[in-house]
């Protein structure tokens, strides 16, 4: 609590020329004596404090060390605005807008135009081309449940379209590869699980609260991996999908083959999801090896052809 109060006091002093100790004490619901101890700590940390005597006096930071004097550089503020701006399209909330306004409020007016010009040179858009472009409602509900330690109830459809109802202790939201995920403890499966937000429906915050259990964020990153053995497939691809395959398996795994063709070596997991992905490439891609995967692709194509011949 003290660390948070110290940071908040510094931010307030950066925004205002001076604030009285009594006002700070009232804002943080502590005694003026505590505020003076905090000011001593801030001063000893290398941020020079100045006091203004008199009835209209107060506490401030020396002007030479304010934002306009490079406590934060132009690049620092630009990076902050780019970062906040990249989150805002997919997580549009009052908190983010207020934070952006506060950051801009720390900057002298004569520098703001230059900063806005630089921050607009980079645009980060996580929203998909198609589908649900506004996941903010789910995000806000999940954020509320996480902060209040409340259970979430929802219907979930996994990657194989198998549907189930879940009650989950939510612990973390993760943005990965332009998709939002939630990590939490599933009371149905009795284990930690990760859920893709686009597959969640009928989301509801329950009144019941839970006692947070130990959650190792780093160890839970394994949830993003399939947990299944991947095979390397050899694909003959057309030049028209080369850029797509570069994003998927990397430039070093693609080599020229002649006649606007390339050989791509890509990871592949033998299940319905991955075969469907491969077939989506249509006649722009041919699986050359291994033989068992090539044979399975041929079988699926023949089955599809049989459907169209019947109709």
Helices 2-15 and 21-28 pack at an angle, to 10 degrees, of 130
pLDDT tens across 117-165, in order? 766 666 666 565 555 545 566 888 998 999 899 999 999 998 777 899 9
Structural tokens at position 143: 């954020």
User: 277 in helix, strand or coil?
Assistant: helix
Closest C-alpha among 126, 50, 105, 112 to residue 78? 112
Q: What gap in Å lies between CA 156 and CA 165, rounded to an integer? A: 6
- Would you give the distance in Å from CA 168 to the centre of its chain? 20
Average pLDDT over the chain, rounded to an integer: 81
User: 3-state secondary structure string, 187-207?
Assistant: CCCCEEEEEEHHHEEEEEEEE
Examine the pLDDT at 215 and tell me if it is beyond 60. Answer: yes
Bridge-based pairing of strands 200-209 and 231-238 is unpaired
174 vs 63, higher pLDDT: 174
Kindly list the distances between the CA atom of residue 203 and the CA atoms of 121, 186, 223, 251, in Å, as whole numbers in the listed order. 37, 14, 21, 40
CA geometry: angle 9, 15, 17, nearest 5 deg: 95
**What pTM was estimated for this model as a whole?**
0.50
Structural tokens at position 8: 């908040």
Hey, which CATH number is domain 231-310, 2.60.40, 3.30.70, 3.30.160, 1.10.3470?
3.30.70
Share of the chain above pLDDT 90, in %: 30
Examine the pLDDT at 227 and tell me if it is beyond 60. Answer: no
Closest C-alpha among 260, 239, 242 to residue 251? 242
Strand (E) or helix (H) holding 88 = none
Average pLDDT over residues 49-56: 83
Domain 2-68 fold is Arc Repressor Mutant, subunit A (1.10.10)
Q: What are the sequence ranges of the domains in the chain?
A: 2-68, 72-119, 136-224, 231-310
| Domain with residues 136-224, CATH architecture | Roll (2.30)
11 vs 232, higher pLDDT: 232
Asked whether the beta carbons of 204 and 153 are under 8 A apart, the reply is yes
Q: What pLDDT is recorded for position 226?
A: 46
- Would you give the distance in Å from CA 250 to the centre of its chain? 23
Among the listed ranges 82-86, 150-154, 191-195, which one has the minimum average pLDDT value? 82-86
């Amino acid at each position: 609590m003290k660390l948070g109060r110290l940071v908040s006091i510094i931010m307030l002093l950066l925004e205002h020329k001076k604030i009285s100790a009594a006002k700070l004490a009232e804002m943080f619901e502590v005694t003026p004596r505590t505020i003076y101890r905090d000011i001593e700590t801030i001063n000893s940390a290398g941020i020079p404090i100045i006091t203004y005597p008199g009835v209209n006096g107060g506490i401030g930071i020396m002007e030479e060390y304010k934002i306009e004097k490079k406590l934060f550089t132009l690049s620092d503020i630009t990076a902050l605005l780019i970062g906040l701006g990249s989150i805002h399209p997919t997580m549009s909330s009052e908190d983010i807008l207020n934070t952006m306004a506060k950051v801009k409020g720390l900057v002298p007016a004569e520098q703001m135009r230059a900063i806005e010009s630089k921050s607009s040179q980079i645009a980060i858009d996580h929203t998909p081309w198609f589908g649900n472009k506004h996941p903010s409602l789910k995000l806000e509900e999940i954020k509320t449940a996480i902060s209040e330690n409340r259970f979430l109830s929802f219907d979930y459809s996994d990657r194989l379209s198998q549907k189930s109802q879940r009650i989950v202790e939510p612990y973390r939201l993760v943005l990965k590869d332009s998709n939002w995920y939630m990590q939490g403890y599933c009371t149905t499966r009795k284990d930690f699980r990760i859920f893709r937000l686009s597959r969640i429906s009928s989301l509801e915050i329950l009144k019941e609260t839970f006692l947070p259990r130990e959650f190792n964020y780093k160890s839970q990153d394994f949830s993003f991996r399939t947990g299944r053995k991947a095979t390397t497939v050899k694909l003959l691809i057309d030049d028209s999908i080369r850029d797509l395959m570069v994003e998927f398996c990397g430039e070093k795994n693609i080599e020229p083959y002649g006649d606007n063709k390339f050989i791509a070596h890509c990871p592949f997991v033998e299940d319905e999801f991955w075969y469907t992905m491969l077939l989506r490439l249509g006649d722009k891609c041919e699986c050359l090896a291994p033989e068992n995967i090539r044979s399975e692709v041929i079988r699926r194509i023949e089955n599809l052809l049989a459907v169209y011949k019947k109709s």
